[in-house]
């Protein structure tokens, strides 16, 4: 059994992160969890910030071996939301006090799509201005690898955060779970480009991939630190039956769920002042899995706003919870849950990570 490192320190070696991720004894898990929660409250405060998640299109040019909407999956019914629908959803998010939205799509690089997206971002920024949100709703994009020029255009249009998951920082594992035309180095360059342009940059990994080790996961956390990442969105790997990785052996669900929570805690201890999302993949493995993530250091929640008929088609992994998160009852019960654990809902705020304004990242073009 590996001894726990000093949990009050702020710099952790690879070996120490491996020790954090390896804990299974309930007392040790609680010690790591409590330390992560303490760092979160000290560095980021007790707010939980909401980003309304709009899955605007499930069309994708890529063929990632784990993804349910990969281009080779002929069972996917393709959709792209109309501009007006996206605007209405953004307005609904603003009315609900979310403060921010995430626009997520498959990776599309064609001009028509990108021109329309640029225009949509501009309109959202204008139309969501209110007394509560004087600079409009905050916009995070999650639309994959793009050229530097595209990243610049969309930043100028008003998006100020970008999420691009690296999925794994082990280059050998990366090449095993992606087709030959996708490269680890390209994705790293994209992350660096986004940072240079001024986005607050998010990334993340899948936890419990076939062939992934605890040492790999510790390296993932060190990569987040080296790349000066502002936001983390990661969750357990969930095999999709219609993909090449659908039948490949991986750790059992309980192990992936446990590791999902420990990754959040360890990332909080190492990166300290970044935003970390409690992702729905945690909920897919356990109905309480996502809420539990808030006790392990997460401080961002992404309520699903995609309309009912489209959300079933954005099927990245099976068992994705079909949550009615934009109704009032859910908001009330989520607020009550946060109160119980000493946290508050950060309404009408962009909820940027303190890291982004502490010189750890570039300043956002606007502030709220």
Point out which residues bind ligand SF4 (CB under 6 A).
60, 62, 64, 67, 69-70, 106-107, 144
Least gap, CB of 232 to ligand SF4 (angstroms):
17
- Enumerate residues 6+ apart whose C-beta is below 8 A from 297: 33, 36, 37, 39, 40, 264, 265, 267, 268, 269, 276
Toward ligand SF4, which CB reaches closer, 67 or 276? 67
Toward ligand SF4, which CB reaches closer, 21 or 316? 316
C-beta separation of 163 from 231 below 8 A: yes
Give the SS3 label for residue 315.
Answer: coil
- Enumerate residues 6+ apart whose C-beta is below 8 A from 125: 135, 136, 137, 139, 157, 158
Q: Minimal CA–CA distance to 352: which of 366, 339, 340, 338? A: 366
Toward ligand SF4, which CB reaches closer, 18 or 206? 206
Least gap, CB of 227 to ligand SF4 (angstroms):
19
Task: Dump strand ranges (E) for 38-183.
Answer: 47-57, 99-105, 138-142, 161-163
Toward ligand SF4, which CB reaches closer, 109 or 367? 109
Least gap, CB of 142 to ligand SF4 (angstroms):
9
Least gap, CB of 316 to ligand SF4 (angstroms):
6
Whole-number Å distance between alpha carbons of 90 and 56? 11
Toward ligand SF4, which CB reaches closer, 144 or 158? 144
Least gap, CB of 146 to ligand SF4 (angstroms):
11
């Amino acid at each position: 059994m590996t001894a726990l490192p000093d949990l009050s320190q702020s710099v952790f070696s690879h070996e120490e992160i491996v020790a954090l991720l390896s804990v299974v004894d309930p007392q040790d898990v609680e010690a790591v969890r409590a330390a992560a929660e303490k760092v979160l409250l000290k560095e980021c405060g007790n707010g939980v910030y909401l980003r309304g998640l709009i899955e605007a299109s499930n069309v994708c040019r890529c063929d990632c071996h784990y993804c349910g909407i990969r281009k080779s999956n002929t069972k996917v019914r393709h959709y792209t939301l109309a501009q007006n629908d996206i605007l209405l959803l953004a307005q609904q998010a603003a009315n609900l006090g979310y403060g921010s939205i995430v626009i997520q799509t498959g990776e599309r690089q064609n001009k028509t799509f990108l021109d329309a997206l640029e225009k949509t971002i501009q309109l959202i920024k204008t139309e969501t201005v209110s007394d509560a949100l004087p600079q409009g709703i905050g916009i995070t994009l999650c639309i994959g690898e793009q050229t530097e020029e595209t990243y610049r255009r969309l930043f100028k249009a008003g998006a100020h955060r970008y999420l691009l998951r690296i999925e794994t920082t082990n280059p050998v594992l990366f090449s095993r779970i992606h087709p030959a035309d996708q490269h680890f180095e390209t994705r790293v360059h994209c992350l660096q480009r986004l940072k240079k342009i001024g986005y607050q940059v998010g990334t993340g990994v899948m936890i419990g991939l076939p062939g992934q080790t605890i040492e790999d996961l510790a390296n993932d956390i060190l990569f987040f630190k080296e790349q000066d990442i502002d936001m983390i969105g990661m969750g357990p790997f969930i095999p999709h039956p219609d993909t090449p990785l659908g039948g490949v052996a991986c750790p059992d669900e309980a192990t992936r769920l446990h590791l999902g929570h420990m990754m959040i805690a360890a990332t909080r201890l190492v990166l300290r002042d970044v935003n970390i999302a409690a992702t729905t993949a945690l909920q897919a493995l356990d109905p309480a899995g996502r809420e539990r993530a808030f006790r392990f250091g997460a401080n961002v929640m992404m309520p699903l706003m995609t309309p009912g008929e489209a959300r079933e088609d954005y099927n990245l992994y099976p068992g994705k919870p079909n949550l009615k998160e934009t109704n009032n009852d859910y908001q009330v019960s989520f607020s009550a849950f946060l109160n119980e654990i000493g946290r508050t809902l950060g309404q009408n705020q962009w909820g940027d990570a303190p890291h982004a304004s502490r010189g750890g990242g570039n300043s956002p073009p606007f502030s709220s």
